[in-house]
Amino acid sequence: NRQYETRLHRGLEETIQAVCAALKLHDGYTYAHQKRVAALAETIANEMDLPENVVHGVKVAALVHDIGKLKVPCEILAKPGELSKIEFCLFQEHAQTGRDLLKDITFPWPIADIVWQDHERLDGSGYPRRLRGDEILLEARVIAVADVVDEAASPRPYRPALGIDVALQEIGRGRGKAFDSAAVDACTRLCREDRFMFPAV
């Protein structure tokens, strides 16, 4: 049983690596973003004292949370300035696409649903289904915080980095409204106390 479990976990890790490699060919920025978000989300989950298995699930889901962007044209992903209404609708579809790509892979965690939900917000202002509060999986709520922080703190294809202070201000404004309070507090402590650094990707 232990050997079977080891082989199963190895197979899952290889599946994740293959999925990430496919995204890297399409959009190297999103690939690097996923790596950074996974590192921060895993650290936040540990800081929240979540069970080891949940922490592992957070990490795996974060590593593929934007896999649906395979369907989004690179011109939209890297476009400077504001997206048109049609372009933004195409962009938002990546959450559903991600779920569709992952839903038939057997994971020990609800990876497809976590990926589907990481752009949802506690107050119902997110997408694609405008879920609220506990309708959103805890893992997705953790990844949402890490995702927003990396988006602000790291350079984007169309703008320079805004910095960690701006990133923490953004999640602080949404604490308890858009974002999970415990995840925001854990992330803020880690960054303010210099206990986390984004990995070089």
CA-to-CA distance for 21 and 28, rounded, in angstroms?
9
Mean pLDDT over 7-24 rounds to 81
Note the pLDDT of residue 99.
96
- The phi and psi torsions of 159 (rounded to 5 degrees) equal -165, 155
What's the pLDDT band for 105 if we cut at 50, 70, 90? confident
**Residues 36, 201: contact at Cβ < 8 Å?**
yes
- 148-167 pLDDT per residue, tens: 999 999 988 778 899 999 99
In the predicted structure, residue 8 carries a pLDDT above the cut 80: no
CA-to-CA distance for 121 and 165, rounded, in angstroms?
21
